[in-house]
Structure 1
Amino acid sequence: MNDILEGYAKSATPEFIARYNELDCAEVYSPVLDLLPQTPLRIADIGAGTGRDAAWFAAAGHRVLAVEPVKELREPGMRQHISPNIEWLDDKLPTLSKAQNYGRFDLITLCGVWQHIEDRDRQLAMLSLGSMAASGGKMVMSLRHGPAPLDRPVFSICPDETIELAKQYGFSLLRRVETGSIQAGNRALGVNWTWLAFQMTDPSI
């Protein structure tokens, strides 16, 4: 994980950040858009990057904990997205040891994050996420499949295994959607995504 974070730190050029920020959140989240909360709630955005999604949620009135371990992404985000509804936190998977001190959340998002977690760490990561989800709260994950830059490697992900792992920690599957990439460059490389949406139905686990 540290090598991947270093890769993101080195890639955090103004051009990289601009490409990330220019993506439309409604388009990014379109596979699960109708499942997102309509009334202001508490959201944990895990792997928040420069805060594109956190700012979108905050603009809708939600209170967002933007969790981002890469300083080179987090600090530009803090400068760009100044909002009383966003609190930034330097923390990372699999333990999320700091984020767990913030209580439980109505929505947890992991957009383009899970593929960076090695298989050996995914059980601990899901345990951490389960401890942060409110009863009845939702978790949305996008799983990337396909090639990635050498300095930001991804690990193979089986959606079925991810679903079963989530079930072990109290989550029930609400939706599974397979999509192509919204970025032309990634589409050309054969990148595709699986979107998973869960609901916490047994927080006692």
Structure 2
Amino acid sequence: MHSDTAGERLHDMASTAGYGEAAEALAEQYESVTFTEVHREVLHLFPSRPSSILDVGAGSGRDAAALAAQGHRVVAAEPTAELRSLGRRIHADQEIEWVDDALPELAVLSVRRHRFDLILLTAVWMHLEEQERGTAMPCLASLLDTGGRVILSLRHGPVPPGRRMFPVTAQETIDLAQTCGLDVVHLAEREDPHGRPGVSWTYLGLELGVS
């Protein structure tokens, strides 16, 4: 009975729970490691030519700024107002389009006709419950250009207090991606770049084939 109640509380929480209140500390944490260190397993999957990139759950804008500095056109979707504000301030020197939008529907971006060469989801997917993931994956596929890629990281381990996270396996994510026309081009596992005990990550590269 107790576990059912805890599960219900988890499902009732917003996917962004805990992020607004802790925005300053989280931004400091995110910015303490570099884009290259966080994404070392998948750097070869990022486009080498200037491309259109969507960073979903952009947080403090660390990744969006690094990609913009490489000459990419970057849209940073971040639903937490406090993090958007910090990101704009911290990375004011980079040309980034900040948007208040979130999965599973990405309602703001989905009504545009723009398609992306790459969509980045860093530590986002496990915040969505199963039904939301079922809605989110086809949404992501619909925003990709043919041959476009999704780079996605999954967090495994203890859930921080006040956060909403669900256990998600790489295989479940791969199976769902394949139903949306996304092929797996990369799968890797690694330790936590922040050194948190019990935390590990799966990195997936998914590519939209010709339908």
Give the alignment's TM-score, normalised by structure 1: 0.93
Which residue identity does 2:36 align to in structure 1?
A
Aligned residues: 199
**Equivalent of 1:34 in 44, 53, 56:** 44
Moved more, 86-95 or 147-156: 147-156
Partner residue, 1:58: 68
**Equivalent of 1:97 in 68, 82, 107:** 107
Deviation for aligned residue 1:16: 2.7
Secondary structure of the corresponding residue to residue 199 of structure 1 = strand
Contact 1:95 1:124 in 2 (8 A): yes
Write out the 4+ residue segments of structure 1 that deviate beyond 3 Å after TM superposition.
none
**Equivalent of 2:119 in 102, 108, 119:** 108
1:1-205 to 2 correspondence within 5 Å? 3-13=14-24, 15-83=25-93, 85-100=95-110, 101=112, 103-184=114-195, 186=196, 188=197, 190-202=198-210, 204=211
Contact 2:69 2:94 in 1 (8 A): no
Identical columns (%): 42
Distance, in Å, in 2 between the alignment partners of 1:182 and 1:5 is 22
Distance, in Å, in 2 between the alignment partners of 1:71 and 1:199 is 31
Q: Which has the higher helix share?
A: 1
Moved more, 137-146 or 149-158: 149-158
Secondary structure of the corresponding residue to residue 108 of structure 1 = strand
Distance, in Å, in 2 between the alignment partners of 1:78 and 1:84 is 9
1:84–1:29 CA distance, 2 compared to 1 (3 A): closer
Distance, in Å, in 1 between the alignment partners of 2:48 and 2:173 is 27
Contact 1:58 1:83 in 2 (8 A): no
Distance, in Å, in 1 between the alignment partners of 2:46 and 2:169 is 24
Contact 2:159 2:165 in 1 (8 A): yes
Deviation for aligned residue 1:40: 0.6
Contact 2:15 2:128 in 1 (8 A): no
The answer for unaligned runs of 5 or more in structure 2 is: 1-10
The answer for unaligned runs of 5 or more in structure 1 is: none
Which residue identity does 1:34 align to in structure 2?
H
Deviation for aligned residue 1:168: 0.9
Give the alignment's TM-score, normalised by structure 2: 0.90
